[in-house]
Structure 1
Amino acid sequence: MAGTQAMTLTERRKAATRLDIARTAAQLFTEDGLRATRAEDIARAAGIAPRTFYRYFATKEEAVAPLLAAGAEAWAEAVRAAPAELPVPDALRYAAERALSAADPANAASLEWVRTLLRLTDESPALRAVWADTSRVSETALRAILAERTGTPEGDLALRLAAGVASTAIRVAVEAWASTDEPAGGPGGPAALALRCLAEAGGAVGSSLSGD
């Protein structure tokens, strides 16, 4: 038991360090520009040695992955936490309203970081690749969660389609919001846009998995 607890604490510390580096990187990208910022600059600002930075991340662009992944993980876990009696489309809407809500200050701050980073993807293929990989991992996680909720094998075509369409709906909503100056809350925020996208995609998401 003690060994398991120690490992859990170690993993939490590593996750906290990764997130601290990610915030530092995002701040420098915003203040100094993505091209002008080096991995060594991020390491120095984060108070770590360059070799420590490279133990966590292979490139400076990858350093912001934890900030992008945090929102994706929150979305997937919100789907998992949705009441079991909800059909899949309703569970997805339930999750979107919570994971993309700006009511919680910490969540609102996270969304603003995501907006900043997504705007930077216009100038950086490497950063676009990080975002694409985050989206792929999120879709895989969602597929596993939907399989649990419905008792459907993860390889089922309808399940794959539902996870792919739902993930794309969320991604499009977040990207559309990030391209504007709309506040995170309100009709132009990511939660509202996600609900609209999910509504448009409702047929493809729900027809095979909700029993309709």
Structure 2
Amino acid sequence: MSSRPPSLTERRKAATQLDIARAAAELFTERGPDGTTAEEIAERAGVALRTFYRYFRNKQDAVGPLLAAGGDRWRALLAATEPGAAVPESLERAMREALAAPDEHAAEGLRQTRELLRAAAADPALRAVWYRVHQESEEKLIPVLTRLAGLDAKELETRLAAAAATDAIRVALEVWAATDADLTGPGSPAELAGRCLRKLMGGMRSLTA
């Protein structure tokens, strides 16, 4: 069963949050989190400070929607897969497609993620947002995998697959961000994520066995 499409109000809220997230990412890249205030983020995004605090608790929290965007995209790709398909292969295919930077918008998102991860190395609050985003992504992935595996899906295997896939992307992006590797080819996010997933999932070929 498909989920209810977002209402106009929900879409506007998401768009505002993403505008604020992009403004925060730009300022963090330019000045670092310590050199940026919530007031400056709100001004860059073109919103009132009260609007900023309506959506976010603090300045680091503001980049959450931007960091979550990639996960939203690859879960949507996976959700479009027909039930019964081999889960490890489906995971890797969706993951690689989502991280392949097929257009400038996707490429810019990856570049912003790299800068944020570099800033997070010296900012525990920003690292906490990164980890929270991935925990939430893992939880959202479980029902997608359950549907993909079918009625006989086993909870333990499904949860393990969700954890492995989420950690594969997280570790791949962290390793990539610490290097000067390109967006494509060896050492790219897509290539690293595929390698991480295969190592983490090992011999797991089914969620129903």
Q: Provide the TM-score with structure 1 as the length reference.
A: 0.90
Is 1:209 aligned to residue 207 of structure 2? Answer: yes
Residue matched to 1:70 = 69
- SS of 2:72's equivalent? helix
AA matched with 1:209: L
Residue matched to 1:93 = 92
Contact 1:20 1:46 in 2 (8 A): yes
Is 1:56 aligned to residue 24 of structure 2? Answer: no
Question: Kindly tell me: are residues 14 and 86 of structure 1, through their superposed partners in 2, closer, same or farther at Cα, counting changes over 3 Å?
Answer: same
* Structure 1 residue 154 displacement after superposition: 8.2
Contact 2:29 2:115 in 1 (8 A): yes
AA matched with 2:105: A
Question: Kindly tell me: are residues 145 and 75 of structure 1, through their superposed partners in 2, closer, same or farther at Cα, counting changes over 3 Å?
Answer: same
- SS of 1:86's equivalent? coil
* Structure 1 residue 203 displacement after superposition: 2.3
Aligned mates of 1:164, 1:99 — CA distance in 2: 18
Aligned mates of 1:70, 1:100 — CA distance in 2: 11
Aligned mates of 1:131, 1:60 — CA distance in 2: 13
Residue matched to 1:182 = 181
- Map Cα deviations across residues 149-175 of structure 1 (whole Å, 9 max, x no partner): 113588812211111112111211111
Contact 2:153 2:208 in 1 (8 A): no
* Structure 1 residue 83 displacement after superposition: 4.0
Residue matched to 1:26 = 25
- Map Cα deviations across residues 47-72 of structure 1 (whole Å, 9 max, x no partner): 21111110111100011101101011
Residue matched to 1:122 = 121
Residue matched to 2:41 = 42
- SS of 2:101's equivalent? coil
Aligned mates of 1:114, 1:152 — CA distance in 2: 37
* Structure 1 residue 208 displacement after superposition: 4.4
Aligned mates of 1:210, 1:93 — CA distance in 2: 18
Contact 1:82 1:94 in 2 (8 A): no
Contact 1:152 1:159 in 2 (8 A): no
Specify which structure has the bigger relative contact order, considering alpha-carbon pairs within 8 angstroms and separated by 6 or more residues.
2
Question: Kindly tell me: are residues 36 and 13 of structure 1, through their superposed partners in 2, closer, same or farther at Cα, counting changes over 3 Å?
Answer: same
* Structure 1 residue 141 displacement after superposition: 1.1
Identity percentage of aligned residues: 50
Contact 1:39 1:53 in 2 (8 A): yes
Aligned mates of 1:155, 1:141 — CA distance in 2: 17
How many pairs were matched up?
A: 206
Aligned mates of 1:120, 1:15 — CA distance in 2: 24
State the superposition RMSD in angstroms: 2.0
Contact 1:93 1:198 in 2 (8 A): yes
Aligned mates of 1:109, 1:207 — CA distance in 2: 34
* Structure 1 residue 88 displacement after superposition: 0.3
- Map Cα deviations across residues 84-113 of structure 1 (whole Å, 9 max, x no partner): 452001101111111101222211111111
Residue matched to 1:161 = 160
Aligned mates of 1:50, 1:18 — CA distance in 2: 13
Contact 2:28 2:36 in 1 (8 A): yes
Contact 2:152 2:208 in 1 (8 A): no
In the alignment, structure 1 segments of 5+ residues that lack a partner are: none
In the alignment, structure 2 segments of 5+ residues that lack a partner are: none
Contact 1:65 1:134 in 2 (8 A): yes
AA matched with 1:59: N
